[in-house]
Amino acid sequence: MALSVAVMVGETKNWIPEIVEKARNMKVGPGTQEGVDIAPMCYPELRDRVKMLIGTAEKEGAKLLLDGRNCKIEGYPNGFWVGPTVIDEVTADMTCYKEEIFGPVLSIVHVDTLDDAIEFINKNQYGNGTGFFTRSGAAARKY
């Protein structure tokens, strides 16, 4: 499952630098090569759409912590590359949240409480699957 939106509750925002560093170190390349984490987009229109949505996020006020739009892979000048991208301060009214990106992009949303996170997630029109990371059994049961 592609978890493309991280809803950061409270102090979990402190994890963001580590997330960005891990994304930065992901290897982009042909999916047939050993050790590749991110393969090219399937077709040029998808690559262009992903790049457009990244640009739209920036125009709408989100912060690009890692921008994969200019990804180049030596020996593959015509590949449909998009590198790992991390977009912070995403809100529900932004295009990058309302439209599924289908690329190597993580959008980060900030909320104050678990209740805020649950409410935010439940308002999403797609009703996609979610993952929940916590040390609290009570929080996991509530979620």
Number of domains in the chain: 1
Please list the pLDDT of the chain residue by residue as tens digits (143 residues): 677 999 999 999 999 999 999 999 999 999 999 999 999 999 999 999 999 999 999 999 999 999 999 999 999 999 999 999 999 999 999 999 999 899 999 999 999 999 999 999 999 888 778 888 888 999 999 99
DSSP conformation letters of the chain: ----EEEEEGGGGGGHHHHHHHHHTPPBS-TTSTT-SBPPPSSHHHHHHHHHHHHHHHHTT-EEEE--TT---TT-TT------EEEES--TTSHHHHS---SSEEEEEEESSHHHHHHHHHT-TT--------S-HHHHHH-
pLDDT tens digits along 57-81: 999 999 999 999 999 999 999 999 9
Asked if the structure places residue 96 within a domain, the reply is yes
Which residue range is the domain that position 105 belongs to? 5-26+36-142
Any idea what the CATH number is for the domain that residue 17 is in? 3.40.309.10
Both tokens of residue 89? 């301060």
pLDDT given for residue 104 in this prediction: 97
pLDDT at position 48 is: 98
Q: Is there a domain that residue 31 lies in?
A: no
State what percent of residues in the chain have pLDDT above 70: 99
Q: Tell me if 61 is assigned to some domain.
A: yes
The answer to whether position 124 is within a domain reads yes
Give the 3-state secondary structure of 41-71.
Answer: CCCHHHHHHHHHHHHHHHHCCCEEEECCCCC
